[in-house]
Each structure stands twice: as structure tokens, then as C-alpha cells.
Amino acid sequence: MQDVLDTKTRILQAAFNLFSDKGFEGTSMREIAKRAEVNLSAINYHFQSKEKLCSEVLNKAGDELREELKEIAENHPDLKFVDLVPKVYQHLVSISDRFQSCFRILSTGNVALDLGSDEDGQMGGGPGARYLMERLTKEVGECIPFEDRCWVVNAVFCQMTHLILLCNTSIAQIEFVKAQFETKKVQYRLRRLCLALVREITDPLDTVKTVLSAD
């Protein structure tokens, strides 16, 4: 059994690295087999096709991130939503290479991911979105429509993703742009965003919400 697990692990790691470096279309099953030091038949046995292998690669990465964000939430049970988000962002910064690799794979591969039964996917957030949702719901209550709470979590994930994807690019190395990625500044902007979003869904007299309701 251990040999089977080791073989699958080697295949998944080799596929992750190659898909990230060369893209889904630019990577062959033979290259993956060579990198993983296994026979091509072993890949076909465990994953049947390149599409299924890529799906497994992304699912594994998602599961790992989900567990990491769960641990962050459990280790900081008393943090408010507005303070938990910067903690999550700092973790994403620490794994930015892996995070960016996943996006490269997603952007180069025509792989269908079934998120219909995935709790995080239903919320419109990334893996681990449920833990931010739990903290948000604890503060604002279930009286706030689920759709509104999903909107907050999705907006926060989109902003964090935007920052992570930019942080290692040449754009982020421009002097006046680089300053905007300083930890304290990013944390301030994330907290401000969270406060604004929460206020928008909890304050029925909020100007923005009133305008949108009128539309």
C-alpha cells in the first residue's frame, strides 16, 4: 500500500511541477512519467487520462490549502473576521510560489473542475473559504442573507488573490508600486476592505446599498 501511495505522490508532484512550468497542453504524459520515475502505464492505471491527472493535481493543492486555512482559523478562535483575513493573506504570501503555480495550471489547461458539491466553491471563494464564512457568520449572524455573506467572502478572496498574483511580478518591483506591498499597508487595506464590506451588508441605511436597491 505504501508503494502505491509513494507512486501516486511522485506522479502528482511531477505533474504539478511540469504543468506549472510548461502548461497543460505543453506537458506530455511521457514527460511526467520520466520526471516521476515511473512507467507510463502506472500513470494510466492511477489517473486514466491527462485531464483526470490535472484535476487530481488541482484538487490535491486545494485540499492542502483548505487544511492550512482551517489550522489558521482554529489557532485564532478569538480573532474577528477583519483580523483573520490579514492572517490568511500572510499565509498566502508564504506559499505564493505554490499559489501562483496553481493559477498557471488553471489558466493553461482546459480542465473541468466540478465545484457543485464543494462548500468553498458554492461560496464563490477559494479553498478554505468556509472558515472565513464561519467567522463572518459568527459576527453578523445568519439573519444576513447567505448571498450577501458569500459576496463578502468572494470579494475578500478576489482581493487577496489579486495581490498574491502581483507580488512577485516585475510590476511589483517598481519603486512606487513596491511600497504598496509592504506588510503593514496591505494589512491596512485588507482590514479597511473588510470593514466596508461588512458595513455594506449589515447597515440597511448604507448609501451604496440604497443606491443598488434602487437599481
Identify the band that residue 3 occupies on the pLDDT scale cut at 50, 70 and 90: low
Q: What is the average pLDDT across 85-114?
A: 83
Predicted pLDDT of residue 182? 82
**Amino acid 106: pLDDT:** 82
Give pLDDT, residue 14: 95
Among 1-10, 101-110, 131-140, the range scoring the smallest mean pLDDT is 1-10
Above 90 in pLDDT, residue 168?
Answer: no
Which pLDDT does position 124 carry in this prediction?
A: 63
Q: Could you state, in order of their start, the residue ranges of all structural domains in the chain?
A: 1-48, 62-214
Q: CATH number of the domain at 1-48, please?
A: 1.10.10.60
In the chain, the percentage of residues whose pLDDT exceeds 70 is 84
Taking only the tens place, the pLDDT of each residue in 16-31 is 999 999 888 889 999 9
Q: What is the pTM of this model?
A: 0.81
Q: What is the mean pLDDT of residues 206-215?
A: 51
Look up cell 508503494; give the residue.
3
Is the pLDDT assigned to residue 205 strictly greater than 70?
no
